Amino acid sequence: MTMESPILSYADEVWRGSVRPEDVPYAELRRDGVQEIAYGVAMWPACGNVYVVRGEDGLGLFDTGDAHEAEQSYRAIRKWSAESLKYAIFSRSRADRLAGMEEFDAEPGPRPLVVAQEGLAHGLAQRGRAAGYNAVVDLREQGFPRVVWPPPQRLPDLTYRDRLSLSLGDVTFQLTHARGDTDDATWAFLPERGVLLTGDLFAWTVPGAGDPQRIQRYPDDWAVALRAMAALDADLLLPGRGLPIRGPARVRRALIDTADYLDSLVEQTLDLMNAGARLDEVLHSVKPPPALAGRPYLRERHDEPEFIVRNIWRLHGGWHDGNPANLKPAPDAVFARAVAELSAGAASVAGRAVAAAADGDLRLACQLAELAAQAEPENRRVHEIRALVYALRVQQERGSIARGVYAWAAAESRSKTTGMDLLDVYHDVAEGRMWWLPSQAH
């Protein structure tokens, strides 16, 4: 094993807490190319990690990265090994896992065999039917320009249902199906090397089991998969995002802690649902175990427990939140105008939002500012306040999903009042360049 790899050095520091996961210099690590992190196993660190396994019969890839880095990762892989690529395994139906095959397919000789769980093609087709919506969500969450979705990718040549073994001669990919943030996830174990490839079932963050703008997630099954992985006593865990974890004790702890985290949210939510609680009560009652929430691999960097609770409710109880008024409500704008009329107008509602923000209640401030903007969508002063409270909310949030949604809302209103380009404003807000906020807000 190449113990001196910078990737492994950073991995140890992150585990010990001396470096935060978000402070790892991935761009610098990529400049070092593909790094061998176990015998015959190498890593290309990226937003979606790419792993290369070398065996007697050639190479196997576990995930192939996204289109933006495909050419760079291909060159890095080929610098590490010129052997023929036999298999490319897709861990799930996400665009940042499926690109990067064009260069390998163009090489002389037989094309590599692309392998995935049998539901992957259906998952891609499902997202394709909502292509416009997915583009809007990408804009709202991350400020990406509108793109054609899904991007080009290879469909699998070989699929499996529950389990499949692939041989590279002296090393075997043992593939197992799981349901996590998609219902077509694949994780792999290399028994000869003691290496576990988790895909995004483990990614150094709160599991993405709640994303409010994406398809259904499966936190119950996710926890089951994590426990199955933990039982293998792997020497090395290679995650879909983030750095490896070395040592059987660390690997087991990370996997079991994450499973316990999810199980706790599921059981708390179901207990309250079974007792007849409404979603509102559930959302504000269920909390992750404090001891687990402090783990470096369970920080709220993207998804959040509150979002996971909503997905648990949706999975087990449908979309109705238990409030009879919300079963067939009036249109938002009609309700907002009625509230504004009771409050002496939208400006009065927006003023109350400012007061709530001053009191530190940004949840209430955002709700009131949104009502005011729905009641009078052309009111410039209302949009100034809406931009203010959502920008303040961005500063308060830890998860990238929430920050993205609130930054988009602030940018919408800020662009209305200034004429600035919406995407320019979005990136200013998302990256903390909010020079127009009152000084006490910084």
**CA-based nearest residue to 305, from 292, 319, 316, 318:** 292
**C-alpha span between 56 and 187 (Å, rounded):** 22
The values of phi and psi at residue 89, to 5°, are -105, 130
Q: What is residue 149's predicted lDDT score, i.e. its pLDDT?
A: 59
Q: What is residue 441's predicted lDDT score, i.e. its pLDDT?
A: 44
83, amino acid identity: E
**Cis before residue 150, ω within 30 degrees of 0?**
yes
312, amino acid identity: I
Q: Which residues pair with 33 in a beta bridge?
A: none
Q: State mean pLDDT over 201-227.
A: 95
Q: Which residues pair with 40 in a beta bridge?
A: none
pLDDT at 442 over 60: no
Read out DSSP for 239-273?
Answer: ESSS--EESHHHHHHHHHHHHHHHHHHHHHHHHHH
pLDDT at 242 over 60: yes
pLDDT band at 146 (very low <50, low <70, confident <90, very high): low
Give residue-wise pLDDT tens across range 43-101: 999 888 999 999 999 999 999 988 888 889 999 999 999 999 999 999 998 877 788 89
**C-alpha span between 109 and 233 (Å, rounded):** 38
Q: State mean pLDDT over 2-19.
A: 85
Distances (CA, A) of 340 to 138, 185, 329, 375, 393: 32, 47, 17, 7, 23
Give residue-wise pLDDT tens across range 104-129: 999 999 999 999 999 999 998 888 88
**CA-based nearest residue to 122, from 150, 145, 101:** 150
Instruction: For the chain, give percent helix, strand, coil, nearest 5.
Output: 50, 15, 40
Identify whether the C-beta of residue 59 lies closer than 8 Å to the C-beta of residue 51.
Answer: no
| 109 CB neighbour count, 10 Å cutoff | 8
Q: What is residue 138's predicted lDDT score, i.e. its pLDDT?
A: 85
Q: What is residue 235's predicted lDDT score, i.e. its pLDDT?
A: 98
Long-range contacts of 279-288 (CB under 8 A, 24+ apart): 279/310, 279/313, 279/321, 279/322, 279/323, 280/321, 280/322, 280/323, 282/309, 282/313, 283/309, 283/310, 288/206, 288/261, 288/264
pLDDT band at 147 (very low <50, low <70, confident <90, very high): low
Q: State mean pLDDT over 314-331.
A: 97
Q: State mean pLDDT over 386-410.
A: 95
pLDDT at 153 over 80: no
Give residue-wise pLDDT tens across range 423-433: 899 988 988 88
pLDDT above 70 covers a percentage of the chain that reads 96
Distances (CA, A) of 160 to 57, 80, 152, 262, 297: 21, 30, 22, 27, 30
Q: What is residue 148's predicted lDDT score, i.e. its pLDDT?
A: 61
Q: What is the largest CA-CA distance in the chain?
A: 77
pLDDT band at 439 (very low <50, low <70, confident <90, very high): low
pTM of the complete model: 0.94
Give residue-wise pLDDT tens across range 160-175: 999 999 999 999 999 9
Tally the residues of the chain: 442
Q: What is residue 324's predicted lDDT score, i.e. its pLDDT?
A: 96
pLDDT band at 132 (very low <50, low <70, confident <90, very high): confident
Buried b (16+ CB within 10 A) or exposed e, 154-166: bebeebbeeebeb
Give residue-wise pLDDT tens across range 348-377: 999 999 999 999 999 999 999 999 999 999
Q: State mean pLDDT over 334-343.
A: 95
Q: How far is CA 26 from the centre of its chain?
A: 17
**C-alpha span between 103 and 80 (Å, rounded):** 15
**C-alpha span between 40 and 68 (Å, rounded):** 26
Give the strands of the sheet with 113-117, arranged side by side. 35-38, 41-44, 50-55, 58-62, 85-89, 113-117, 158-160
